[in-house]
């Protein structure tokens, strides 16, 4: 599809029709359009021609059907927190904003599931659930929309216990590229009925259809929770303590690792006084007795790997303060190098290779001369590097991009993946081929069969 010539005329026709039919639901304001393109990524902004604010599945059907008839791109948009330019519009078209579709349609307490529209955010859902004793545990850090989290197969800090979005979505309502409505799955906890269409769309990054409603699993809130914070002499010791605790059979809800640079940033921003060493945040949940036993067992295991300090926080205020500090790493990192741009990347490796990958990456950062803290959901082998770079400095950006290339290839060489949770978007398309090879060809065939005119979020996952 070409965004010049006939392609530009088709887009103009669709924009005109939508403006006439829907009025204020369509915006052509340049600022709004740019806000809907690549809001949190370092990649160049490629804005859509217009933004449509959907209020129902029928709205989505009408927009997608019109765009399909004129071969105009549709870019689904949740809250704009994706990190690999997943909401850019490289060919122009319509950004389909689902934030107004934020109704919680049903909560089934006995079955521990609920039905939500795609624009509901995780914090909104958990606030609504507060009185039920249930919660939705997937926590990528940002207050992302549930639909966007499904589209990117999000996970985050609690994945070690609760899994990722693919493990917590039971059913979807999806508007297909021709405008028809597809409903996948049921509220049953398992099924052997045909292809698993639900998981086909979870992680498709909006390239196969637009998710408008979701049925998701809920989980009970543990009666007791404690957080252990322990510093180690080096990254390898911290990683090996994680591996040992999981092999031993401990069941933490979260295990987060901050390297010394990240701890220094968090101390300064969140007014903490942690030792500036590689540090684990480990959360346990369950009965009071079970939690106390797990904390003590972890203390013993951590000691075997040279743990230099060990504090446990069982009070809700102290726990909240620690996890807020963890989730504020973005703002903390910005203070490490004022004026620099935050460039986030992530990889995931088998947990047995975690220490190797993190130690090699840390050495690479030092050799390359970057300011780049490391933080990881290390219970499942996933870690992030936050590079603070001067994007106007061509030489520095060349070093930064070369480092990211090496990081991706390092993870792939260790039988891991170039992205544990950020997704492919535009930023990691070439590494998908290096990771999966001929399988990408079958992905392309699947995309072409469902979206023959390539209108659904074109230029993401694949190079066109």
Structural domains counted in the chain: 3
pLDDT at residue 155, rounded to an integer: 93
* 211 and 243 belong to one structural domain: no
Burial 37-47 (b: 16+ CB within 10 A, else e): bbbbbbbeebb
Shared-domain flag, residues 296 and 357: no
Q: Is residue 359 part of a domain?
A: yes
Q: How confident is the model at residue 314 (pLDDT cuts 50, 70, 90)?
A: confident
Q: Which two tokens stand for residue 204?
A: 């498709």
Sign of CA dihedral 367, 240, 233, 419: positive
- Geometric angle at alpha carbon 460, from 456 and 464, rounded to 5°: 85
Confidence bin at 120 (pLDDT 50/70/90):
very high
- What does the pLDDT read at residue 252? 92
Please choose, from the candidates 143, 140, 168, 169, the residue with its C-alpha nearest in 3D space to the C-alpha of residue 156.
140
* Range of lowest pLDDT (35-39, 224-228, 229-233, 390-394): 35-39
- The rounded percent of the chain whose pLDDT value lies above 90 is 86
Give, in order, the Cα–Cα distances in Å from 154 to each of 65, 75, 159, 251, 331: 28, 18, 9, 21, 21
Shared domain for 264 and 239, answered yes or no, is yes
* Residue 101 predicted with pLDDT over 70: yes
Same domain, 140 and 216: yes
Q: Tell whether 323 and 341 lie within a shared domain.
A: no
- Determine the average pLDDT of the residues in 99-112: 98
Mean pLDDT of the chain: 94
* Of 72, 65, 64, 78, residue with least CA distance to 48: 72
Query: Could you tell me if residue 340 is inside a domain?
Result: yes
**CATH for 364:** 3.30.70.2740
pLDDT digit string (tens) for 204-258?
Answer: 999 999 999 999 999 999 999 999 999 999 999 999 999 999 999 898 999 999 9
Residue 314 CB-half CA count within 13 A: 12
Tell me: do 216 and 305 sit in the same domain.
Answer: no
- Asked if the structure places residue 297 within a domain, the reply is yes
Question: With 70 as the cut, is the pLDDT of residue 3 above it?
Answer: no
Range of the domain at 257: 224-330
Is residue 442 domain-resident?
no
Which of 9-18, 186-195, 310-319 is predicted least confidently? Answer: 310-319
Over residues 15-19, mean pLDDT:
96
Same domain, 326 and 232: yes
Model pTM above 0.85: yes
Tell me the mean pLDDT in the region 340-344. 91
Q: Could you tell me if residue 51 is inside a domain? A: no
Q: In this predicted model, what pLDDT tens digit does every residue of 52-63 receive, in sequence order?
A: 999 999 999 999
Last residue of a domain, one of 220, 251, 286: 220
Q: What is the pLDDT of residues 261-288, one digit of tens each?
A: 999 999 999 998 899 999 999 999 999 9
- Domain annotation covers residue 59: no
Does residue 1 surpass a pLDDT of 60? Answer: no
Chain position carrying tokens 């659930």? 129
* Same domain membership, residue 351 and residue 401: yes
CATH number at residue 263: 3.30.70.2190
pLDDT of residue 5: 63
Q: Are 347 and 364 in contact (CB under 8 A)?
A: no
Domain for residue 75, yes or no?
no
The residue out of 312, 330, 348 marking a domain boundary is 330
Do 264 and 353 sit in the same domain of this protein? Answer: no
295 in any annotated domain? yes
Shared-domain flag, residues 250 and 157:
no
Q: Looking at the structure, do residues 119 and 194 belong to the same domain, yes or no?
A: yes
Q: Are residues 288 and 365 in the same domain?
A: no
CATH number, domain at 163? 3.30.465.10
């Amino acid at each position: 599809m070409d965004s010049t010539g006939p392609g530009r005329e088709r887009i103009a026709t669709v924009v005109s029709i939508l403006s006439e039919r829907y009025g204020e639901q369509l915006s052509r304001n340049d600022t709004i359009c740019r806000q809907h393109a690549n809001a949190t990524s370092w990649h160049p902004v490629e804005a859509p021609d217009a933004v449509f604010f959907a209020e129902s599945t029928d709205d989505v059907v009408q927009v997608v059907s019109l765009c399909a008839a004129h071969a105009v791109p549709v870019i689904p948009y949740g809250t704009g927190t994706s990190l690999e330019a997943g909401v850019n519009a490289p060919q122009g078209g319509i950004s389909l904003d689902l934030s107004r579709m934020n109704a919680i349609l049903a909560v089934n307490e006995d079955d521990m599931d609920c039905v939500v529209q795609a624009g509901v955010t995780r914090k909104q859902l958990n606030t609504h659930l507060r009185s039920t004793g249930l919660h939705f545990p997937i926590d990528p850090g940002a207050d992302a929309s549930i639909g966007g989290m499904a589209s990117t197969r999000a996970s985050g800090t609690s994945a070690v216990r609760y899994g990722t979005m693919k493990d917590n979505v039971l059913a979807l309502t999806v508007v297909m590229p021709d405008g028809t409505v597809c409903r996948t799955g049921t509220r049953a906890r398992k099924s052997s009925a045909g292809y698993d269409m639900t998981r086909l769309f979870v992680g498709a990054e909006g390239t196969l259809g637009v998710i408008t409603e979701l049925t998701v699993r809920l989980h009970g809130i543990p009666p007791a929770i404690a957080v252990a914070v322990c510093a180690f002499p080096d990254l390898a010791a911290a990683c090996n303590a994680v591996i040992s605790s999981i092999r031993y059979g401990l069941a933490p809800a979260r295990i987060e690792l901050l390297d010394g640079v990240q701890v220094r940033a968090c101390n300064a921003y969140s007014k903490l006084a942690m030792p500036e060493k590689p540090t684990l945040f480990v959360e346990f949940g369950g009965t009071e007795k079970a939690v106390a036993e797990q904390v003590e067992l972890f203390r013993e295991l951590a000691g075997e790997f040279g743990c230099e300090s060990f504090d446990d926080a069982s009070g809700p205020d102290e726990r909240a303060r620690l996890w807020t500090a963890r989730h504020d790493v973005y703002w903390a990192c910005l203070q490490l190098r004022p004026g620099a741009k935050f460039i986030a990347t992530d990889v995931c490796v088998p947990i047995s290779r975690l220490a190797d990958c993190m130690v090699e990456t840390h050495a690479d950062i030092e050799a390359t001369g970057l300011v780049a803290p490391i933080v990881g959901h290390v219970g499942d082998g996933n870690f992030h590097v936050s590079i603070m770079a001067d994007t106007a400095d061509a030489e520095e950006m060349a070093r930064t991009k070369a480092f990211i290339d090496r990081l991706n290839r390092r993870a792939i060489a260790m039988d891991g993946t170039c992205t544990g949770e950020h997704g492919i978007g535009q930023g990691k398309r070439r590494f998908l081929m290096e990771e999966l090879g001929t399988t990408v060809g079958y992905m392309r065939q699947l995309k072409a069969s469902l979206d023959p005119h390539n209108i659904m979020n074109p230029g993401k996952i694949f190079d066109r």
